[in-house]
Amino acid sequence: MKLYLDPPLLGKVNMARDLEFVEKAAETASAYVRIYSWQRPTISLGHFQKPEKVLNFPALEKHNIDWVKRPTGGRSVFHFREITYSVALPVDYPGLPSSVTEAYRFISEPIYKAFVQAGLPVKWARQEENFSEACFLAPARHEIMLQGKKIVGSAQRRKAKSVLQHGSILLDAQPRIFAECLLGVDQENFIDQLRKKTMVIPVRAVELQKCLMEQFRTFFV
């Protein structure tokens, strides 16, 4: 297993690094794990989202926010202050399920254990429907919850020979700016729902990074 703790990078560089590692996972039959952050506030869109239908470009310019397409699916994510992880595995990695939802659980297991190690009483989520453009507004099955709120937003892409999963762990939030940067949303309701359904983790970033690295090292070989 190769584990990387990267400095803050631009959104396009972060996504290129994740794609690089999913290719390497296929070529080398090894696991690649990254823990990283973002040099500038950035909204990432799921692979199938159309920017012109989702983003309010004048608001992005007003708030000096970048945007980028992810190689994975899912909805929009506002990367502000957070810990981001990515895991790239060969499809025949020992124990990796073939089902997407079960693979979520498998890859998220060391993240769950890192939260427990950091003293957070987390639980696994059940599937909820999400009709919003925001990833964090509904947990998928096997995502991680704290006090009934989603604290990790993850997305996955499966290629012929490898699997990529990456996700965000919130250290801070700017729901009003996020709402303003999206088209076709009831901004006040959107802000209210984000505040009700998501939360910033009550633990220091350095401490959680340490726990994540320990658990990833233990779980992936």
Summarised one tens digit per residue, pLDDT across range 162-219 is 999 999 999 998 999 999 999 999 999 999 988 888 888 989 999 999 999 999 999 9
| Token reading at 109 | 């297991």
Residues marked active site are found at: 135
Domain hosting 67: range is 2-219
Q: How many domains does the chain have?
A: 1
Say what the pTM is. 0.90
For residue 184, give the CATH number of its domain. 3.30.930.10
Q: Is 70 exceeded by the pLDDT of residue 137?
A: no
Q: Is 80 exceeded by the pLDDT of residue 73?
A: yes
Confidence (pLDDT) at 198: 85
- Split at pLDDT 50, 70, 90, the class of 140 is low
Q: Is 90 exceeded by the pLDDT of residue 103?
A: yes
- Helix ranges (H only) for the chain are 11-28, 51-54, 57-63, 100-117, 175-180, 187-197, 205-219
